[in-house]
Structure 1
Amino acid sequence: MDKKIENVVFNQIINDHLKPNIRQIDEKSYYPKEFLNAVGKAGFFSSNFLQMEDVRCGELYIIEETAKFCMTSAFTLWCHLAALASFRLSNNPYINNHLLPFFESGDVLTGTGLSNAIKYYAGMERIRLKAEKTDGGYMISGSLPNVSNLDHDHWFVILASLNEKQRIICSLPVNVEGLILESKTNYIGLNGSATYACFFDNVFIPDKWIISEEADEFIPKVRPILALYQIPLGIGVSQAAIESIVKSHLKNKEVNQHFKTQHTELIKKLQIVRTRTYEYARYVDLNTIGKEILLTRLDIAKLTPEVVHAEMLYSGGQAYIQGNDTFRRLRESYFLLNLSPTIMLLETLC
């Protein structure tokens, strides 16, 4: 499909399946499952016959475009794409030939429970899940406090420790026996992200669901992709905020010209981050630029709050009205600071 046609198709999906539900997503914990299904059915999750660099650029774009309207929905999109990145790196034939096609079709959606893994390999957290080898697979026990983009028919990705020397990466469906989910909806934002605490009571994971039995080697391969795909969350929110600032500036130039932060400066900063992000997506081996990706992820984590705070000032009193998009973007921006890798972790690593 031609790139311009793809953009038109995606914009239509946003108009039909996302825009009408944004208030419900933000205020009523409405999970945008229909939107995600529609994105998949239109082919935006497919990697068939494509260079991986083109896949990455396309997936960055749909996260960015979604985040312009709703970062909660963009985050659920990131969760699915983060899981897809893990599945695509697997050497397990069952995953490659049977599971991945379902996930790329959008008929079956996925989440990722790898936050614990990212923090563990950064030396910030112990591994929360334990694995025990058994006939035909592994038994998993433990708990994860927050896993997003889950529903009754979804799958997700986890890391578990077999012993001090070996850790494994697994996939599993939400409806597996021994898994208990507890809904989490008391956040200031992102309540529509279908986030759950997950409790594992001897959950059996057959060998065919194992993504990798060598997590120590696998995580460094997938980690740059996860971080790269988080950057357009901030880009999209920032673009929407800047558009709002420009409109406010034009309405009252005499007053707004005295603000220290001007939209022209913010546009330049954001364009630098965006250009760099899409350039990184073109690298064949992202591990060679892992540090640069983390630095850019840190840049957007700092820039997005700056932009949305400026938008609050430019918008004035209307930003304090319930349901206002400006205040929603302010709340969304704080999630970007705490999404693993958090801004504290990024500053430590960089």
Structure 2
Amino acid sequence: MNVATSLTAYDFDEIDRISREDLASIVQKIDEDRIYAEDVMRAYGKAGAYGTHVGGPDGHVDLSSAVLAMARTSEECLSTGFCVWCQDTLAWYIASSDNEFLKTEILPKVIKGEALGGTGMSNPMKAMGEIEKMRLKGTRVEGGYTVKGLLPWVSNLVEDGYFGTMFHVDVEGEASPKRVMAIFHAGWEGIKLKLDHDFVAMGGTATCNVQCRDVFVPDEYILADPAMDFVKRIRPGFTILQCGMAAGIIKNCIELIEQVEAPLGHVNQYLDKQASDLRADYDALVAEVLELCKTPYDLSDAFYLRVLKARLRGGELAMEAAHWAQLHMGARGYVSHGAAQRRLREAYFVGIVTPATKHLKMLIAQLER
């Protein structure tokens, strides 16, 4: 089922215009005042940014357009680029499921930017890797589950938004609980949102702690029960999509270096990395990512290993490019409104957002055993 065809037309020129004009003009406010660019996020939906990757496992799905749109956003502002990833991932969960109710009733609103939301999978991803404990616990009741717990760091989340997450359910006679994945609505009874923006960057991401007090999750909102086979289905796309954030910030950092070649090139030439070096690495990364985008439902370990390595390289290169951009720009990039210092702070987010650098290295090591 491809609901996107009749709902939105992908218009990269309009995505570019929104990024260049509407988003670029408020980047300082996003960074310093931690405002959430809600109007921009909804405008991207109207331009088709969220509807190119929702054909489902039985359709022809290519993540390239989604990644390139996210990259264009991230060239200007990684906070908003991350929110685009959240929105894309919410759509990815629903489109990848077998739940016709969610595909019919919720997915079209997500694609068009009418409903905003994200992924509450940071904690579950870490829990599955035995890095931390699962924060949400569910109990089976008639017609669904009741869920309680505190879920940290759910981004792109507004009061009437949606998010996908996972909870544990104890099973009688089983030593381990099962995992269930579902879509939650932020306005349901028992849910309380608290903004959590105490970061050195990425403050304009509508990131919340979500408290669940016996929240009823109807069966109609269940993505997978049990969830593990579904997680294997969605994890390559979940991870590939993040490369859009990396690509965008890397490209902009290269451009920052090029901007000061005329005034500072005579001394910057002695730095170990030049724009041309980083551009070669960037081109190689983008080529690999776009190739991986063609088959996001490949469930083989060999493919997932390539995905993890590309995502790891993206985070490492983002931090490296931002480091060299700061050194090339010198003091002019180190002032409070300097682009280089903002990009440096943002780039480290690519290295620590789930799956973080250390998590990626752990997963790669496990697959290479």
User: TM-score per shorter chain, which class?
Assistant: over 0.9
Deviates more, 1:10-19 or 1:156-165: 10-19
C-alpha displacement at 1:250, in angstroms?
2.8
Alignment of 1:83-94 (within 5 A): 83-94=90-101
TM-score in terms of structure 1 length: 0.95
Q: Check the 8 A contact 2:165/2:182 in 1, yes or no.
A: yes
C-alpha displacement at 1:49, in angstroms?
9.3
Q: Could you report, residue by residue, the CA deviation over 1:247-266 in whole angstroms, capped at 9, with x for unpaired residues?
A: 21232332111111121111
Aligned residue number for residue 157 of structure 1:
164
Distance in 2 of aligned mates of 1:343 and 1:284 = 21
* SS of the residue 2:242 aligns to: helix
Aligned residue number for residue 124 of structure 1:
131
Deviates more, 1:288-297 or 1:14-23: 14-23
Q: Check the 8 A contact 2:90/2:164 in 1, yes or no.
A: yes
Q: Check the 8 A contact 2:52/2:66 in 1, yes or no.
A: no
Aligned residue number for residue 173 of structure 2:
none
Q: What residue identity is the alignment partner of 1:186?
A: D
Q: Could you report, residue by residue, the CA deviation over 1:184-222 in whole angstroms, capped at 9, with x for unpaired residues?
A: 121100000011111111001111111111211111111
Tell me which of 320, 334, 337 is aligned to 2:334: 320
If each structure's helix is expressed as a fraction of its own residues, which one has the higher value? 1
Alignment of 1:63-142 (within 5 A): 63-142=70-149
The 3 A distance-change label for structure 1 pair 221 and 49 is closer
Deviates more, 1:43-52 or 1:155-164: 43-52
Q: What residue identity is the alignment partner of 1:103?
A: V
Aligned pairs, how many?
Answer: 347
Q: Could you report, residue by residue, the CA deviation over 1:86-118 in whole angstroms, capped at 9, with x for unpaired residues?
A: 001111121111111111121111111011121
Aligned residue number for residue 307 of structure 2:
293
* SS of the residue 1:193 aligns to: coil
Q: What residue identity is the alignment partner of 1:70?
A: C
Aligned residue number for residue 275 of structure 1:
287
Deviates more, 1:307-316 or 1:93-102: 93-102
Alignment of 1:26-45 (within 5 A): 26-45=31-50
Distance in 2 of aligned mates of 1:42 and 1:59 = 12
Two-structure CA RMSD over aligned residues (Å): 1.8
Aligned residue number for residue 271 of structure 2:
259
Q: 5+ residue gaps in structure 2?
A: 171-175, 365-369
Q: What residue identity is the alignment partner of 1:232?
A: G
> 1:331 aligned to 2:336?
no
Tell me which of 46, 71, 90 is aligned to 2:51: 46
C-alpha displacement at 1:138, in angstroms?
0.6
Give identity over the alignment, percent: 26
Distance in 1 of aligned mates of 2:310 and 2:52 = 25
Q: Check the 8 A contact 2:145/2:217 in 1, yes or no.
A: yes
Q: What residue identity is the alignment partner of 2:36?
A: Y
* SS of the residue 2:11 aligns to: helix
C-alpha displacement at 1:59, in angstroms?
0.4
Tell me which of 226, 231, 237 is aligned to 1:214: 226
> 1:143 aligned to 2:150?
yes
Q: What residue identity is the alignment partner of 1:266?
A: L
Aligned residue number for residue 205 of structure 2:
193
Q: Check the 8 A contact 1:76/1:193 in 2, yes or no.
A: yes
